[in-house]
Amino acid sequence: MTIHHGKDTPEEIRQKRIDFHMNYCVHYKPSAVRFGEDYCELKCGAVVGHKKPCIGGHNLEAPLTACDKWERRSLESAIARHERIEQSFDLMEKIGPVVSVWRNKPPRGKQEVIECPACGGRLHLSQAASNGHVWGKCETEDCVSWME
């Protein structure tokens, strides 16, 4: 028997994250662009304490009374979502150090195409002169893409 002293194993952490993804309705679409612009794919209008049931329905005793279209995500869907998010974090860890150096290279407010540290493809970078935020998109399908 392994004693964890309050720390979860990587497999326990993975399972907790998958369980978390299963708390949501299949129609819930979190916004990848702007925080707070999450929405229901079916455009359901019911509100449960400032949130649509897509987001909080799993906490309700009877979520279908708040929204008759509420449907919990499947295990397969939750696993796939978890794996996509993990892949995204892995890619960002690979490019982070290179982008950090590029960000601090003068001048502030520039555009350039560099070799993508994640896949070797072409990574398009753009930096705002006003605040130094960097946007990037690799030409390789399913590689990195972000906006600060």
Residue pLDDT tens, the chain, 148 long: 344 456 889 999 999 999 988 888 888 877 665 555 667 788 775 544 445 667 677 788 888 887 888 888 999 999 999 999 999 999 999 999 999 999 999 999 999 999 999 999 999 999 999 999 999 999 999 899 998 8
Rg (the chain; Cα; Å): 20
pTM for the predicted model, two decimal places: 0.70
3-class state of residue 147 by DSSP: strand
